[in-house]
Amino acid sequence: MADPRLVPESTVFVLYGATGDLAHRLVLPAFYQLAIAGLLPEDWRLVGNGRGDVSHEDFQERVRQSLEEFGPKPAEGPWDEFSSRLLFAGGGFDSSNPGCLLDVLKEAQAAIGGQPQLIHYMAVPPAAFGPLTEAIGAHGLAKDSRVVYEKPFGTSMATFEELDRIAHATFEETQIYRIDHFLGKEATQDIQVLRFANGLFAGAWDNTHIGSVQIDVPETLDVAMRASFYESTGAILDMLVTHLFQVAGEVAMESPHCLEPECLSEERERVIGCFRPLTWSDVVLGQYEGYRETAGVAPESRTETFVAARLWVDNPRWKGVPFLLRTGKCMAEGHQRVSVLFKDPVEGLPGQPLGASILAFELSGDGDIELSLVVKEPGPTMGLTTSTVNIPLGTGFHTPALPAYSRLLHDVLMGDRSLFTRPDGLAHVWTVAAGILGDKPEPIPYAEGSWGPAAAAELAKPGTWHLGQ
């Protein structure tokens, strides 16, 4: 039974793009996960919205198919009760024509009774954010509601500023939730806890003790069915200026004065403001061999499927410490890892392994924390070796881990904005990335199943990348 303090108030949840890929793979399964965990309101309705003429029953069947493919399986939870609360409003939705959304919303609100909170979730391409926001305002659905925007929130400083203007013409900032699911991962949140709540690391989190920070998200998959989307973004927009920059902010932030949502997000956004703007001398782009033969990809495409960057944080704590960021498709292994590489002791011991003190956070799945240390090798001699301790975050505790999307959806339902991005931080992000968004060099070809272009190794010198050594 869920803690009553974690159960939100009655809610009508409108999912724009409800029959699209993002809703299918991530949002709907995350919502069902909350139902299994007992973390949905006592009374709620989810209204899917889209252009098609889909009946409530057909939409319920589509949701069941989503769960069969991406889980949790319908048989693993309260499917019958859950599905009875799923509605669909077809006919699209824009400023001049609401389709049947207003009618279905009245139906949902009447079924719940009272004044349920209203949440708008935009599981649509970024180009649709502005028109949908204006439509919400035009049809009187903005007051006291909340709105969730997927990433990327813009594709440049100019598009960010325009979307931010439209959003604030309709909503107050306190109503806006800009989602970046990497911030909802258990291990990402443990970066803060392990650092600020443990004296072992709190005093060593600076350039005196840390040699480099590496945020590494290699993927073994190709672009597959997402080729047309990927052609419009590439690795820089899809991963670097969204997920990797935000995780770097989590690692580099100063200690918050409190654990309230605004206090946490303020510190994260403040340190992003210290990121030095990137130039091509600190960035390597790559494209896996065979990408241009993918359906939907231009024969001469210069879209990067790999990016590695050396980022500098210009404040006293991190002066001289490179933050090495890397992500790519079709790589040798799949990870979502943050590695903090501590410097070797100045004196040290004879024969000790070098570069062995590493604190790593694996963000994928339920997450885990790894600590590598120099230890004595068992036996009669004083040989030194390296050993690793692992702390799994999804098992061994009385409460199970929530997937990132489920955690963030629950935060929206509860009105907690601490793990969501703010406009000041996003403006800084576009400033940092401005120099590498246009006039890109030809990406360097790399073999599928490799660690990307060899030139990326130069960014880590005099050290190396921790993964793929």
Query: Rounded to a whole number, what is the largest CA-CA distance in the chain?
Result: 82
For the annotated catalytic residues, the residue numbers are 243
φ/ψ of residue 135, rounded to 5: -65, -40
- The three-class DSSP label of residue 441 is coil
DSSP H helical ranges for 371-422: 404-414
The residues near 463 (Cβ < 8 Å, ≥ 6 apart) are 211, 212, 341, 355
What is the signed CA dihedral for 25, 175, 152, 50, rounded to 10 degrees? 50
Of 354, 353, 393, the closest CA to residue 370 belongs to 393
CA distance 258 to 253: 13
CA distance 304 to 90: 37
CA distance 156 to 361: 30
CB 98 within 8 A of CB 139: yes
CA distance 82 to 45: 9
CB 278 within 8 A of CB 309: yes
State the pairing for strand pair 358-362/368-376: antiparallel
